[in-house]
Structure 1
Amino acid sequence: MEGLKVSDANLVAYVNPSKSTKVPQAVLRELSSLLFKFNETFDGVVLAYDVQIQDKVAKILPGLHPYFCVRLEAKLLLFSPKPNMLLEGKVVKLTQTSIHVIVLGFSSAVMTDEDIREEFRYKTKHGEEQYASRFHKRHVIKVGTTIRFSVKSFDEEILHISGSLVPTNTGSIGWLAKHMEDVSRIDRRSTKRGRESEGESVIVEHSEAYSLHSDQIRTSKKRKIKDES
């Protein structure tokens, strides 16, 4: 899935003197406060971390309430979705005008009716709501289905994603895994045919131009012969 990245970071943790005997625990507590929040410095939501303390001896900062300054090296797993990236999520709710999804267990995403391609139509089957493809009977989206969708925008404050199911490479992950090659092959064929038809029209235009040019040459030759006679 796109939108995930690992970042190396040099950090500084400020530890209260009362935690001087438990510095590692205090550092981990500080890092834990970063989890599942968007961080502008790292341009993403911190999902996990792996940290190493660089200084064996912490430095004490002067002041009314002195703190220990501990330098760290960390690897951070970040979630940073950008427009047009492909994400995956589990469907938790369906309505006639929207599909609601949870991504990575914490971020919500929604596809409204204008962002659901016309191939899918909403219906109720055996009391269960679903979006079913008009062209592929087994391509069905319902509650519990894991889908792939394209990112339109990401609200960093509430960690909410506006998504789209318009691209042909989006939909049910299970169905796409089995049939995406066929869909891509069909798209390539249609593109190739379009290019070939364009090439044919160019060839025809050139042949017509050549025949017209030949006629003009023959006409000019006839005129030249008459003038000489």
Structure 2
Amino acid sequence: MEGLERVRARFTVDLHPSKLANAAEGVRAHLSSLLLRYNEDLEGVVMSYANERVLTKTACIHPYFPYARLEVTAEVVLFRPRPGIRLVGIVNKAGADYLGLLVLGCINVAVAADAIRAEFRPRLLEHCWASSKTAAHRLEVGGKVHFDVAAVRHHGAFLSIAGSLQEPSTGAEGFAKLAKRPEGGKKQQQQQPDKQQQGQQQQQPQQQQQSGKKNKKKRQSEAAAAAQQQAPPAAQQQQQQQQAATPAPAAGAKDKKRKDKKRKDKKRKAEAAAAADDAAGAPTAAAAANSGGSAEPKKKKKRKEGKA
């Protein structure tokens, strides 16, 4: 049946002091308490266990409780239903708006009325759902029904399943077409690896081309670096001279601009001084004209007075 898995699981068992005389028996009692309950660590319902083995050689005692802690491994059969798989259950209830089933004799399954095909109608007096297309096709109490898992719910240690009978291949034993699903599944599983192989084969040439281009670029860069290292000393000196000479024109141009700027500044200052002298000399000339003389004799007199 789909959903059943066999795994090797590891458990931590805290043994009561009364079980220490026979630790193996205490371990089996603990594992038995986990049966038919949902285990969150294992993500499934523990259906059975076998080949249990104690790994701890020297047990540690709990600091607050008088229990000895042991590490144990065992082969466990887990029931891990998932949406989409097909299961077989036995009808135990037939209501007006649902159908109840049991899977593996202990897991409850509920199939709501809206999850049952329209061809089925409830017959409460006969405790079944009967098909309007085929009179012999009945979902009756005690009969086996093939259904699809629609949802899985777990509440603490208990698990419940929501089923669906919408697919035409689902239904009562003898009318369901369960045998065709695994074959289709195998074909799909075989086709998927083939597609994966084809995709890998197509990707390999592309990856090889990309790696070839990268290697080619790497070789070219290495060759250029080697050529520069192997260049003759004269060429290296010439390159160094060119590199040293390149900033010189820029420096000469800057100096020339500075000199031109200084000349222009000097010229402007000289022109400004000349203009100021002209402006100062104009009033003296006018005064001399009015007095009938010139300004030069007065200067001479002042000089003579200074000498005296």
User: 1:48, 1:76 within 8 Å by CA — same for their partners in 2?
Assistant: yes
Q: CA deviation at 1:72?
A: 2.0
2:251 corresponds to: none
Change (3 A) 1:10 1:138: same
Q: Measure the CA separation in 1 of the matches of 2:39 and 2:134.
A: 42
User: 1:35, 1:46 within 8 Å by CA — same for their partners in 2?
Assistant: yes
Using structure 1 for the length normalisation, give the TM-score: 0.69
1:96-136: CA deviation from partner (whole Å, max 9, x where unpaired): 22111112222211111110011222236xx5232222333
Q: Which runs of 5 or more structure 1 residues have no equivalent in the other structure?
A: 185-229
User: 2:146, 2:178 within 8 Å by CA — same for their partners in 1?
Assistant: no
2:34 corresponds to: 34
Q: Which structure carries more relative contact order (alpha carbon 8 Å, separation 6+)?
A: 1
Q: CA deviation at 1:80?
A: 1.5
Whose radius of gyration is greater, 1 or 2?
A: 2
Q: Which moved more, 1:110-119 or 1:11-20?
A: 11-20
1:132 corresponds to: 130
1:158-197: CA deviation from partner (whole Å, max 9, x where unpaired): 422111100122111233369979xx9xxxxxxxxxxxxx
SS in structure 2 opposite 1:156?
A: strand
In the alignment, does 2:82 pair up with 1:82? yes
Counterpart code for 1:119: E
Counterpart code for 1:131: W
SS in structure 2 opposite 1:21?
A: helix
Q: Which one has a larger percent strand, Structure 1 or Structure 2?
A: 1
1:40-86: CA deviation from partner (whole Å, max 9, x where unpaired): 11111111111322447342336354433333221111112111111
In the alignment, does 2:168 pair up with 1:168? yes
1:185-212: CA deviation from partner (whole Å, max 9, x where unpaired): xxxxxxxxxxxxxxxxxxxxxxxxxxxx
Q: Measure the CA separation in 2 of the matches of 1:180 and 1:137.
A: 24
Q: Measure the CA separation in 2 of the matches of 1:17 and 1:103.
A: 38
SS in structure 1 opposite 2:175?
A: helix
Q: How does 1:31-180 map to 2 (within 5 A)?
A: 31-55=31-55, 57-61=57-61, 63-123=63-123, 127-157=125-155, 158-176=158-176
Change (3 A) 1:123 1:18: closer
Q: How does 1:147-226 map to 2 (within 5 A)?
A: 147-157=145-155, 158-176=158-176
1:219 corresponds to: none
SS in structure 2 opposite 1:91?
A: strand
User: 1:37, 1:46 within 8 Å by CA — same for their partners in 2?
Assistant: yes
Q: What's the C-alpha RMSD, in Å, of the aligned pairs?
A: 2.5
User: 1:169, 1:176 within 8 Å by CA — same for their partners in 2?
Assistant: yes
Question: How many residue pairs end up in the alignment?
Answer: 180
Q: Measure the CA separation in 2 of the matches of 1:100 and 1:76.
A: 28
SS in structure 2 opposite 1:128?
A: coil
Counterpart code for 1:77: V
SS in structure 1 opposite 2:84?
A: coil
Using structure 2 for the length normalisation, give the TM-score: 0.53
Q: Measure the CA separation in 1 of the matches of 2:130 and 2:138.
A: 4
Change (3 A) 1:118 1:52: same
Q: Measure the CA separation in 2 of the matches of 1:50 and 1:36.
A: 15
Change (3 A) 1:11 1:178: closer
User: 2:153, 2:161 within 8 Å by CA — same for their partners in 1?
Assistant: yes
4+ runs of 1 displaced by more than 6 Å?
177-181
User: 2:170, 2:178 within 8 Å by CA — same for their partners in 1?
Assistant: no
Q: Which one has a larger percent helix, Structure 1 or Structure 2?
A: 2
Q: Measure the CA separation in 2 of the matches of 1:41 and 1:97.
A: 35
